[in-house]
A = this chain, B = another copy of it.
Amino acid sequence: MSQSGQIRVALAQINPTVGDLKKNADLVSKHAFDAANAGAVIVVYPEMILTGYPVEDLANRASFREASIAAVSELATRINNEGNGDLTLLVGYLGQTQGGKPQNCVAVIYRGEIVATYIKHHLPNYGVFDEYRNFTPGAHSLVIRVCGVDIGIAICEDIWQSGGPVAELAKRDIGLLLVPNGSPYEINKNDARLILVKQRAIEVGAPLAYVNMTGGQDDLVFDGDTIVVSSSGELIARAPQFEDGLMVIDLDVKLASSDPDLIISAAPTLKYKKIVPGVARRLGDLEQIWQGLVIGLRDYVGKNNFKSVILGISGGIDSALVAALAADAIGADKVHGIALPSKYSSEHSLSDAKELASNIGLNYRIIQITPMVANLIENLRVDGLAEENLQARVRGLTLMALSNQEGHLVLATGNKSELAVGYSTMYGDAVGGFAPIKDLYKTQVWQLATWRNELAMLQGQTPPIPENSIKKEPSAELAPNQKDSDSLPEYKLLDQILSIYIDEDGGRAAALAAGFDPLLVDKVVGLVDRAEYKRRQYPPGTKISARAFGKDRRLPITSHWRES
């Protein structure tokens, strides 16, 4: 029977930037300082903290691998020079095999040296992940002894699949399992992480600390959600979602219980009063989505060095929601809302847009597109659908002209429902560098708008989104008295069928089995099947669902497969 002891661990829930080795090293150093200051003996960072995550095909660049490997050595020296050499650091980085093949690694840093390396074994290659493409797997588990505690390491997917290093660690009788992660946020995960973490802790018979990153990276957003459970799978501590921070925690552990690969320090920590940070409140579903969208947008703007955003505000619900998100993300003073009325715009379009601008306090301008459209039609002599699209394209062209002139990032305001069925104009309303709500169905847009307004009222603030924008019937206003319902089924029905067909990868039969009208199903499925090309032209936007458009759906453009 092994002795029991105590160890103080620091878990850094932080936000790296892909490719910015210097900035990421600074972030590691800062949190090493704080961890050492708090009396921790070991600090764990998220997966590939030094390079950022995911690096995708940057992994295939030898120069990038070499820079990453050099950076982790420099970091080891630096931490020591900064006086924190006695702290053990688990720092994720991009390494390589002797033959130069990329690997997803964790360096164990101690007293200025990389004393051991663990290489990720299970590589995810589904959904948004391409790790089989980018990495060569590791083959061995690693156990290090720190302050008399035998610590195993696993990286992210290593705990999602059975077998491999965790199964090995279960036999090695470790005292603690530390797991760096790059796990993107997804709605309705049903707390799968917590369930899994508990299961693995019980499997290895040791406490488990799961450390995840925060922040946005293109389509992905990371919510943190750092978790610590006991060896019996009891939840001990959990960090707030979507917030950066350093969790310091004292854990009860077995001492010197295994045959470690490396002994860093053998003497156990003396027992002292334990720090246990507790379990942060979980956010509600809509609050989670809102935070995810805000952070995804904020980081896309910030990490791409934009200072401000511009968008067309039509008086409709989509642009109103995007404006509210943008104001929460980067501040209303950096949001430019442009009303772009045409001869088909109804009166409330302009009054609702103005009310939105006033509620939020964003920069507001009106640019009449009618004279520009009239001139173009006179020169090009087009009508019908070509004329409808032309209006949307003049709006896109106007926003891009202002972006070029003034330096704003253009936000596209399309939602997942219209994107799915192709109800948008290429080079028109699809114009933009980022599409914040491209992964929200229309019904979710309404829900979030209502939720955000209620939040404002609870906080004694002006609700950002005009009531009329929420309540009025959706219209593209590209032709006289046009309504979305002229072309599309009711959104409530449409979104349910889309959810079966897209999120659940169900076919026509699945939609029929769910009780939907065959004609309706055929219409929706036909529209979705034909819209793949348009979807490929959409800018990135934060992914919040199991199957977003973009990285996690790779369909042929030229496909004659039809469900119906």
A18 and B561 form a contact (CB under 8 A):
yes
Q: How distant is the Cα of A507 from the Cα of B561 in the complex, in angstroms?
A: 42
Report how many copies the assembly holds: 2
Q: Which of A501-525 contact B (CB under 8 A)?
A: 505-510
Residue of B nearest to A538 (CB): B537
Q: How distant is the Cα of A273 from the Cα of B61 in the complex, in angstroms?
A: 55
Q: How distant is the Cα of A558 from the Cα of B20 in the complex, in angstroms?
A: 10
Q: Is A372 an interface residue (CB 8 A)?
A: yes
Q: Which listed segment binds B: A143-151, A196-204, A375-383?
A: A375-383
A62 and B303 form a contact (CB under 8 A):
no
Question: What sequence of 0s and 1s flags, for each residue 131-164 of chain A, a beta carbon within 8 Å of any chain B beta carbon?
Answer: 0110000000000000000000000000000000
A558 and B431 form a contact (CB under 8 A):
no
Q: Which listed segment binds B: A227-235, A307-315, A389-397?
A: A389-397
Contacts of A556 in B (CB 8 A): 18-19, 52, 54-56, 58, 217-218
A300 and B133 form a contact (CB under 8 A):
no
Question: What sequence of 0s and 1s flags, for each residue 30-51 of chain A, a beta carbon within 8 Å of any chain B beta carbon?
Answer: 0000000000000000000000
B385 and A397 form a contact (CB under 8 A):
no
Question: What sequence of 0s and 1s flags, for each residue 101-139 of chain A, a beta carbon within 8 Å of any chain B beta carbon?
Answer: 000000000000000000000000110001011000000
Other-chain contact of A507, B63, B383, B386, B397 (Cβ < 8 Å): B63
Q: Is A527 an interface residue (CB 8 A)?
A: no
A557 and B533 form a contact (CB under 8 A):
no
Task: For residue A38, give the distance in angstroms from its CB to the closest CB of chain B.
Answer: 29
Given A125-B125, A217-B556, A560-B20, the answer on whether A404 and B389 have CB atoms closer than 8 Å is: yes
Contacts of A383 in B (CB 8 A): 405
Q: Is A70 an interface residue (CB 8 A)?
A: no
Q: Is A401 an interface residue (CB 8 A)?
A: yes
Question: How many residues of chain A are within 8 Å of chain B by beta carbon?
Answer: 80
Residue of B nearest to A372 (CB): B379
Given A554-B56, A558-B18, the answer on whether A379 and B397 have CB atoms closer than 8 Å is: no
Task: For residue A268, give the distance in angstroms from its CB to the closest CB of chain B.
Answer: 41
Q: Is A60 an interface residue (CB 8 A)?
A: yes
B426 and A400 form a contact (CB under 8 A):
yes
Q: Is A276 an interface residue (CB 8 A)?
A: no
Question: What sequence of 0s and 1s flags, for each residue 526-563 of chain A, a beta carbon within 8 Å of any chain B beta carbon?
Answer: 00000001000101100000000000011111111111
Q: Is A398 an interface residue (CB 8 A)?
A: yes
Q: How distant is the Cα of A368 from the Cα of B18 in the complex, in angstroms?
A: 45
Q: How distant is the Cα of A430 from the Cα of B31 in the complex, in angstroms?
A: 45
Q: How distant is the Cα of A379 from the Cα of B21 in the complex, in angstroms?
A: 45
Q: How distant is the Cα of A531 from the Cα of B233 in the complex, in angstroms?
A: 48
Q: How distant is the Cα of A556 from the Cα of B52 in the complex, in angstroms?
A: 10
Given A382-B405, A389-B404, A397-B376, the answer on whether A19 and B61 have CB atoms closer than 8 Å is: no
Question: What sequence of 0s and 1s flags, for each residue 331-373 of chain A, a beta carbon within 8 Å of any chain B beta carbon?
Answer: 0000000000000000000000000000000000001100110
Contacts of A60 in B (CB 8 A): 505
Residue of A60, A379, A384, A553 with most chain B CB atoms under a 10 A cut-off: A379
Q: Is A259 an interface residue (CB 8 A)?
A: no
Residue of B nearest to A302 (CB): B558
B402 and A380 form a contact (CB under 8 A):
yes
Task: For residue A554, give the distance in angstroms from its CB to the closest CB of chain B.
Answer: 5
Other-chain contact of A300, B63, B539, B558 (Cβ < 8 Å): B558
Q: How distant is the Cα of A386 from the Cα of B508 in the complex, in angstroms?
A: 47
Q: Is A98 an interface residue (CB 8 A)?
A: no
Residue of B nearest to A300 (CB): B558
Q: How distant is the Cα of A299 from the Cα of B558 in the complex, in angstroms?
A: 9
Residue of A218, A385, A405, A506 with most chain B CB atoms under a 10 A cut-off: A405
A380 and B393 form a contact (CB under 8 A):
no
Contacts of A63 in B (CB 8 A): 506-510, 563
Q: Is A290 an interface residue (CB 8 A)?
A: no
Other-chain contact of A379, B367, B385, B426 (Cβ < 8 Å): B367
Q: Is A57 an interface residue (CB 8 A)?
A: yes
Residue of B nearest to A57 (CB): B554
Q: Is A491 an interface residue (CB 8 A)?
A: no
Given A55-B556, A380-B367, A386-B405, the answer on whether A561 and B64 have CB atoms closer than 8 Å is: yes
Contacts of A130 in B (CB 8 A): 130, 133, 554
B433 and A533 form a contact (CB under 8 A):
yes
Contacts of A217 in B (CB 8 A): 556, 558
Task: For residue A419, give the distance in angstroms from its CB to the closest CB of chain B.
Answer: 15
Q: Is A427 an interface residue (CB 8 A)?
A: yes
Q: How distant is the Cα of A256 from the Cα of B557 in the complex, in angstroms?
A: 46
Task: For residue A534, give the distance in angstroms from its CB to the closest CB of chain B.
Answer: 10
Task: For residue A441, give the distance in angstroms from its CB to the closest CB of chain B.
Answer: 20
- Can you report 12 residue pairs joining A to B where beta carbons are below 8 Å apart? A18-B561, A19-B561, A19-B562, A125-B125, A130-B130, A217-B556, A300-B558, A367-B380, A371-B375, A380-B401, A382-B404, A393-B397
Top 7 nearest A-B pairs by Cβ distance? A63-B507, A19-B561, A20-B560, A386-B404, A19-B559, A375-B375, A19-B560
Q: In the complex, given contacts A216-B558, A372-B375, A386-B405, what are 8 additional A-B residue pairs having Cβ atoms less than 8 angstroms apart?
A: A19-B562, A57-B553, A62-B507, A63-B507, A67-B561, A218-B557, A218-B558, A390-B397
